[in-house]
Amino acid sequence: MAKDDKAAAIADIVERFNSSTATLVTEYRGLSVTSLAELRRSLGDSASYRVAKNTLVKRAAAEAGIEGLDELFVGPTAIAFVKGEAVDAAKAIKTFAKDHKALVIKGGYMDGRPLSVAEVEAIADLESREVLLAKMAGAMKANLSKAAGLFNAPASQVARLAAALQEKKSDEEAA
């Protein structure tokens, strides 16, 4: 690779590191080109998946100010640069790795710190943002309904009491 090509590749990787919300590092040894294309499709718009040379990625990570990932850049390395929710990309990669044993999750980087394999898998096990927001809205609605019933109870008790008194009064007048 020519020096200009290497500089351009490093600049591209630095830009991807800087514009990503998270990165997930994998080893793709043994995967066919078709399998890699399938993985890229499964990631959709949430992430871009790039195979890169370890030396270039190490330099780019250093330029981007990302530390603690050097030990992950050993062997055939590919990185998923996540643009949206890290949960969606982590789920897609974990699911793909379950079906294709050749894909190995090495770790990742998010919120200014490196992630272990266990942390990446824990992120993959989380529910998506939309599901969590829906659950929170449902819980809030249930609490509001309980509060409305609680506030409404005294008024309905007074109404029942008034109806019972009126019925008792009408029974006394009839007797």
pTM for the whole thing?
0.69
Cβ within 8 Å of residue 129, ≥6 positions away: 85, 87
Q: What is the mean predicted confidence (pLDDT) over 122-147?
A: 77
pLDDT per residue over 82-109, tens digit each?
987 888 888 888 888 888 888 888 999 9
* Cα 137 from Cα 82, distance rounded (Å): 27
Nearest CA to 91 out of 35, 129, 51 is that of: 129
Q: How far apart are CA 23 and CA 93, in angstroms?
A: 12
Backbone angles phi, psi at 75, to 5 degrees: 80, -175
Mean pLDDT of 22-39: 88
What pLDDT does 29 receive?
A: 85
CA–CA dist 26, 93 (Å, integer): 9
Pairwise CA distance, residues 11 & 126, whole Å: 33
Q: For domain 3-126, which architecture applies?
A: 2-Layer Sandwich (3.30)
